[in-house]
Amino acid sequence: MHRYSLCVSLYLFFLFLVTISHGTICSSHDLINQTCEKCANQSVILSYSLCSTALPVVPVSHSTNLEGLAIIAMELALENVTNTLATVEKLLGDESLDKYVMGCLTDCLELYSDAIWRIVDSVDVFLSGNYEVSRIWMSSVMEAASTCQQGFEEKGEVSPLTEENYNLFQLCGIALCIIHLSTPVTANAIPF
């Protein structure tokens, strides 16, 4: 079993309970689409279709509010990065890969191991009401996904993690946007 899996699973279960306690029965599926539309409108890099298909996967997202959706987006990012770490570890065991690619994968392993704890911290500070710091952590995870991807591309290698990096980047961007929308003063534009 992957060494992070148990901890992360327990944490996700805890988040599930937190999300329920944040939920209200009056919001609906509409909230997801509206929120995704707002985020895609405000930022050219965010994908409406990824957002509107990813968020409803967590069943409780149908009966939650904006804060609940922010937690769900972070939860999805956490699941994503945990699965990706397992993929990276598997790839590192493939001896047919060239040295340069191996080096990049090792960098990604480090970036993503850090990212797990940054997302966990991000949720914690979000729950304590410090949305500003939560956004800083989530944007640092977006940067980690870009850095991982750029490592391969710098030498013209095809990244074996292109899809994973894209998904993580999007999920963190969506989380960042929803955290921003949850922030009481939302007059200023999202910072990307």
Footprint on this chain of ligand NAG (rule: CB under 6 A): 29-30, 33-34, 37-38, 41, 52, 54, 76, 79-80, 83-84, 164, 167, 171
Q: Which is nearer to ligand NAG, 81 or 179 (CB)?
A: 81
- Shortest approach of ligand NAG to residue 99 CB, angstroms? 25
> CB neighbours (10 Å) of residue 50?
17
Q: Which two tokens stand for residue 21?
A: 């306690």
Contact 138, 176 (CB under 8 A): yes
Q: Which is nearer to ligand NAG, 13 or 132 (CB)?
A: 13
Q: Which is nearer to ligand NAG, 27 or 139 (CB)?
A: 27
Distance CA(166)–CA(162), nearest Å, equals 6
- Shortest approach of ligand NAG to residue 34 CB, angstroms? 5
Q: Can you say how many angstroms the Cα of residue 7 is from the centroid of all Cα atoms in its chain?
A: 17
Q: Which is nearer to ligand NAG, 171 or 175 (CB)?
A: 171
- In order of 16, 37, 84, 174, the CA distances from 141 in angstroms are 22, 23, 13, 12
Q: Which is nearer to ligand NAG, 49 or 128 (CB)?
A: 49
What residue is closest to ligand NAG based on CB? 54
One-letter amino acid at 68 equals G
- Shortest approach of ligand NAG to residue 129 CB, angstroms? 26
- Shortest approach of ligand NAG to residue 83 CB, angstroms? 4
The 8-class DSSP code of residue 156 comes to T
- DSSP labels for 5-28? HHHHHHHHHHHHHHHHHH--SS--
- Shortest approach of ligand NAG to residue 52 CB, angstroms? 4
